[in-house]
Structure 1
């Protein structure tokens, strides 16, 4: 089975890495690649693109009869920041005791 992964980011390359260890033919395609040809030749198409890019990709290729798996998520810029950037400041938490100590 031929699988086309559209998107070369963390998700797309991670899926390609795992799926390439199977018996299937796996190809990854980015913005500069011929997406229409990749979709035509594939049995399964995985969209691993930013959330808003699906409509643009749909205009570039004919997905008729294809199994399409869309792994994109509608996330904000804040949520999708790199892991090594500083997290937002949060107010300090109060601690609670769940059991009271009893003296006998």
Structure 2
């Protein structure tokens, strides 16, 4: 059940456009860089990197600042975890995330990518929420291959990003981020919905890699009747 937010930071953010918010992306692998490129000029971007000096040129190319993880989170309204799930799980325990909207784009895959390491009775998103209980975790972007970020936004305008979260204001904020990044929003309800969304991400990985369809694919949700 989505909670009705009180008069906290998340509630105040509801009346602010994404351009007025600061988005921190933690991790600069293909997903982090891809999302940063799509969001360039649309929100104030701060990049969190383990090697700040090495990330300086990329940060400049997208008009962002780059700093360490803790400093990136400090001034952010939205924090995107663009690191592998095991790293994210340890990272959130070290960060001050109280009141922050935290986007979990991870898939908790096994080391050999043969399936999910956890799922069905819990999810990566729920485990991250348990590790950072004062944060507002929203599942999203885990069914998107990084290569889609490099295609024109017009090509992904109808590609859904499935969002699951318990805080209505946080989900709305991430929905605005999804739209700014050039994707469609598909809300799936509370954070327990991540138990369904993460297997969809794993299915996409199987199609893309195991069955040779490549990474220029994405799951869609079609409504065939009114």
Q: Same fold (TM over 0.5)?
A: yes
Residue 30 of structure 1 is matched in structure 2 by 49
TM-score (norm: length of structure 1)? 0.68
Q: In the aligned structure 1, how far is the partner of 2:48 from the partner of 2:71?
A: 10
Matched, 1:41 2:41: no
Residue 76 of structure 1 is matched in structure 2 by 110
Residue 36 of structure 2 is matched in structure 1 by 16
Q: Closer, same or farther in 2 for the Cα pair 1:25/1:54, shift >3 Å?
A: same
Rg larger in structure: 1
Of 69, 86, 90 in structure 2, the residue corresponding to residue 52 of structure 1 is 86
Report which stretch shifted further, 39-48 or 28-37: 28-37
CA deviation profile, 1:50-91 (whole Å, cap 9, x unmatched): 1101222113211001000010111233339xxxxxx77xxx
Matched, 1:62 2:96: yes
Q: In the aligned structure 1, how far is the partner of 2:69 from the partner of 2:81?
A: 11
Question: Tell me, what secondary structure is at the counterpart of 2:80?
Answer: strand
**Post-superposition offset of 1:35:** 1.1
CA contact (8 A) 1:13 1:28 kept: no
Q: In the aligned structure 2, how far is the partner of 1:20 from the partner of 1:11?
A: 14
Q: In the aligned structure 2, how far is the partner of 1:19 from the partner of 1:40?
A: 20
Residue 23 of structure 2 is matched in structure 1 by 3
TM-score (norm: length of structure 2)? 0.33
Query: More relative contact order in 1 or in 2 (CA 8 Å, sep 6+)?
Result: 1
Aligned residue pairs, count: 82
Residue 159 of structure 2 is matched in structure 1 by none
Question: Tell me, what secondary structure is at the counterpart of 1:46?
Answer: strand
Unpaired segments ≥5 residues, structure 2: 1-20, 52-66, 115-208, 211-226
Q: In the aligned structure 1, how far is the partner of 2:94 from the partner of 2:50?
A: 11
Question: Tell me, what secondary structure is at the counterpart of 1:60?
Answer: coil
